């Protein structure tokens, strides 16, 4: 099968499993496990601790041995992590589940994108990435419907269905995912890992664009924990002030996720028309729009206008990932691509761990709204770093 099509379908099915799990899990954590806001943020911190420990080693594994093997392992480990969460209402066990599935995700992060970049030789890579994200949105919409229907029976059912889907996906890829780009044969494993990691770092910090992008990645991690772990909690609280507050949590969470996916798909369709020539400008516009939406969500008193701001934030955020990957795909050589992509994932995770500490402190000492204001302000700084990248790129092109 064509590697681009394998990638697109794989992203779609991964989104199906992840969205079904996350839609059910947030209701499970808030309504069943009764976790507090600071505990929800700490779960995000657990996830990022896992990423920061394993992102680079698993990226090195993908570059040095097999990207296919790395991806397949990842699906099985994520499934095990999801399975652990369904086993107990204890915060400690849910914490362990986050670390486990985060570990699994590091096997896929970087490796899958590097695989499709090399297997397609970057021919039409931007369009492939946008199409994959678009199919991901469609499958996420299906996942939300499945989570709603199954969740009304038992909130754990969609979580268990996600586990089954991930295991089946891993088994199927053993057969259909081909790896035709040869990897060099090497012997001294310990030396190789450190050597490959140093090569990746050397490329990042000697590259005029990528060293700025490292700062951007950190800031995009730093802004995120306050909104990522509390958005459903805050929306449920805001909608409790309206007639929609009479609906069950699974209805409200499913509805907000469905709207966000539809808006994200629209955003991707718009970006797909002009992405190739305007990657940096699109990123700047999207990050500024994210900041605006968060400020509205945090500061406007009207629940309807505030939640409109939230959906504007979610819509514009959906367009950033394919642009992010596009930059790395074109600026990094194939031999270290998964390593560099994983390094950026780790930089993002360092930011998210810092964000977990920062946002937990703000929530405990001030309020959840204050954490959103801080997040929106950090996005403004990230937009500035992207503007610096654009200026640098133009200067390089004129030399």
Residue extents of the structural domains in the chain: 3-174+189-398
Residue spans of alpha helices (H) in the chain: 3-27, 37-64, 67-86, 91-108, 111-119, 125-153, 156-176, 189-206, 210-222, 225-239, 249-272, 279-299, 303-318, 320-331, 337-365, 368-398
pLDDT number for residue 368 = 82
Q: How far apart are CA 310 and CA 308, in angstroms?
A: 5
- Position 183 scores a pLDDT of 60
Contacts of 129 (CB under 8 A, 6+ apart): 113, 322, 325, 326, 329
pLDDT at 249: 73
C-alpha distance from residue 322 to each of 272, 282, 380 (Å): 10, 11, 20
Q: What is the pLDDT along the chain (399 residues), one digit of tens a residue?
A: 788 899 999 999 999 999 999 889 988 998 888 888 788 888 877 887 887 788 777 777 777 788 889 999 999 999 999 999 998 888 999 999 999 999 999 899 878 888 888 888 777 777 888 888 889 888 988 998 999 899 888 889 999 999 999 999 999 999 999 888 666 544 444 445 567 677 888 888 888 899 999 999 999 999 987 787 777 777 777 666 555 556 677 777 788 888 888 888 888 888 777 666 678 888 999 999 999 999 999 888 788 888 899 999 999 998 887 888 888 877 887 777 777 877 887 788 788 888 878 888 888 888 888 889 999 999 999 999 999 999 998 888 776
Q: How far apart are CA 272 and CA 221, in angstroms?
A: 25
Domain spanning 3-174+189-398, CATH class: mainly alpha
Q: Are 298 and 387 in contact (CB under 8 A)?
A: no
HSE toward the beta carbon, residue 298, CA cutoff 13 A: 22
The packing angle between helices 279-299 and 303-318, to 10°, is 160
Q: Which residue has the tokens 């998210």?
A: 352
Q: CA-CA distance, 25 to 237, in Å (whole number)?
A: 17
Q: In this predicted structure, what is the pLDDT of residue 291?
A: 96
Confidence (pLDDT) at 254: 81
Q: What pLDDT shows up at residue 388?
A: 94
Q: Locate tokens 């929800």: which residue?
A: 40
Could you give the CA distance from residue 214 to residue 199 in angstroms, rounded to a whole number? 15
Taking the whole predicted model, whether its pTM rises above 0.85 is answered as no
Maximum separation of any 2 CA atoms in the chain, in Å: 65
Tokens of 169: 């996906």
> 375 near 227, Cβ under 8 Å?
yes
**According to the model, what pLDDT value does residue 185 have?**
43
CA distance 320 to 286: 7
The two structure tokens encoding residue 106: 């590091």
């Amino acid at each position: 099968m064509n590697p681009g099509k394998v990638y697109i379908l794989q992203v779609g099915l991964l989104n199906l499993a992840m969205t079904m799990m996350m839609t059910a899990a947030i209701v499970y954590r808030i309504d069943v496990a009764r976790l507090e806001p600071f505990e929800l943020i700490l779960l995000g911190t657990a996830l990022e601790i896992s990423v920061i420990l394993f992102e680079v080693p698993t990226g090195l594994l993908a570059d040095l041995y097999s990207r296919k093997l790395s991806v397949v392992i990842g699906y099985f480990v994520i499934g095990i992590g999801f399975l652990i969460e369904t086993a107990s209402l204890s915060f400690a066990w849910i914490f362990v589940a986050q670390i486990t599935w985060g570990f699994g995700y590091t096997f896929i992060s970087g490796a899958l994108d590097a695989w499709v970049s090399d297997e397609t030789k970057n021919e039409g890579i931007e369009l492939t990435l946008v199409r994959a994200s678009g199919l991901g949105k469609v499958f996420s919409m299906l996942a939300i419907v499945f989570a709603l229907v199954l969740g009304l029976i038992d909130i754990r059912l969609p979580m268990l269905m996600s586990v089954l889907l991930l295991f089946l996906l891993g088994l199927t890829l053993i057969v259909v995912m081909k790896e035709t780009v040869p990897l060099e044969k090497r012997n001294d494993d310990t030396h190789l890992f450190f050597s490959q990691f140093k090569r990746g770092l050397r490329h990042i910090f000697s590259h005029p664009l990528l060293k700025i992008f490292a700062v951007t990645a950190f800031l995009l991690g730093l802004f995120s924990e306050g909104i990522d772990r509390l958005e459903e909690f805050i929306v449920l609280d805001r909608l409790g002030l309206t007639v929609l507050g009479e609906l069950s949590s699974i209805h409200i969470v499913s509805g907000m996720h469905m709207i966000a996916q539809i808006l994200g798909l629209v955003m991707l369709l718009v970006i797909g028309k002009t992405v190739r020539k305007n990657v940096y400008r699109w990123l700047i516009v999207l990050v500024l729009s994210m900041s605006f939406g968060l400020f509205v969500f945090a500061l406007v008193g009207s629940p309807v206008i505030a939640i409109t701001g939230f959906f504007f934030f979610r819509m514009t955020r959906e367009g950033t990932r394919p642009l992010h990957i596009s930059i790395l795909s074109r600026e990094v050589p194939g031999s270290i691509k998964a390593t560099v992509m994983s390094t950026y994932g780790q930089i993002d995770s360092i930011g998210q761990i810092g964000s977990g500490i920062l946002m937990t402190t703000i929530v405990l000492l001030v309020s959840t709204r204050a954490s959103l204001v801080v997040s929106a302000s950090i996005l403004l700084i990230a937009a500035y770093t992207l503007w610096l990248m654009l200026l640098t790129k133009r200067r390089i092109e004129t030399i």
